[in-house]
Amino acid sequence: MALLLKESDVRQLLTMEMALGAVEESFQRLADGKAILHSRQRLFVPGGSYLHYMAAADARRGYMGLKIYTSSREGLRFIVPLFNAISGELLALIEADYLGQMRTGAASGVATRLMAREDATRVGLIGTGLQARTQLLAIAQVRNIERVRVFGRDPARRSKFSSEMAEQLRIPVGAVETAEAAVRDADVIVTSTTTSQPVLNGAWLSPGVHINAIGANFPQKRELDSDAVLRADIIAVDSREQAKIEAGDLIQAFEGDPSRWESVRELAEIATGRTPGRARPDDITLFKSNGIAIEDVVTASRVYEKAIEIRIGQEVPLWENEEQFGQRPPRP
């Protein structure tokens, strides 16, 4: 029996505290060599939709799985099949839209804890979608945030977003009319958009700021102009291999000097103390997030274990005839 967990189940089970712990654990797995990771691949049907898939295994806790999702003009659909890494048993099928939002927010939360100044209190946010919400939730858990300024292209949406997040976080969240107004004098900046052209200019950055750039994961897209990337004293990614494939912000900024990739760090190296996330208070630091499968697998495994503990979800009968499992079908 596999356990089917719907979006409503995941929302009931997964807290930001749990997501932060799971994502940090996933970086520990990468650092100690107990994670096996395959970068995202994409299949495109001309005139139709994309199929995206990415896989990983947590060899320490005995889980493996993948995230599969489609994107089209009708939207996105996410699912994580989670397997026992020893027996190959399918443990769960997990609808994973909310799971992805939470683990992406948690990755920025971990990066902010490791790379932002300890006295950071002001956040500038560009973007008002679902991902932007979990970014703020995570950052508010790792820093004592006192003020947030938000810009989005739609005035009504940014006003609604600001009032809802102010109520949820119990801190001032103000809508502003330009991206520059959102990020000027911010201690932490988040770009969470679907743009293909830069929305954050290097000229707007204050000394000591930390940036979480999460929106662009195609080589031809970017949220940061080259100056914003090149001004960063420390750049971290969740996976160098995957960043070289799809982090358009870095790919385009480094086009004239590929040797700059040599200085890009993986967040796992910072999480385990192998390299610092910040050397000086005035350093500009950047986390370019693409999202990697080990984050999904470790988070999904925690959701699955919690579901088993409190008995949530629907059992789905699959491969019930165990004695036939692995045997060849009879000859006709």
Give me the active site residues, please.
67
Handedness of CA 317, 96, 296, 241 (dihedral sign): positive
Task: Calculate the CA 69 to chain-centre distance.
Answer: 15
- HEC string for the chain: CEEEECHHHHHHHCCHHHHHHHHHHHHHHHHCCCEEEEEEEEEECCCCCEEEEEEEEECCCCEEEEEEEEEECCEEEEEEEEEECCCCCEEEEEECHHHHHHHHHHHHHHHHHHHCCCCCCEEEEECCCHHHHHHHHHHHHHCCCCEEEEECCCHHHHHHHHHHHHHHHCCCEEECCCHHHHHCCCCEEEECCCCCCCCECHHHCCCCCEEEECCCCCCCCCCECHHHHHCCCEEEECCHHHHHHHCHHHHHHCCCCHHHHHHCEEHHHHHCCCCCCCCCCCCCEEEECCCCHHHHHHHHHHHHHHHHHHCCCEEECCCCCHHHCCCCCCCC
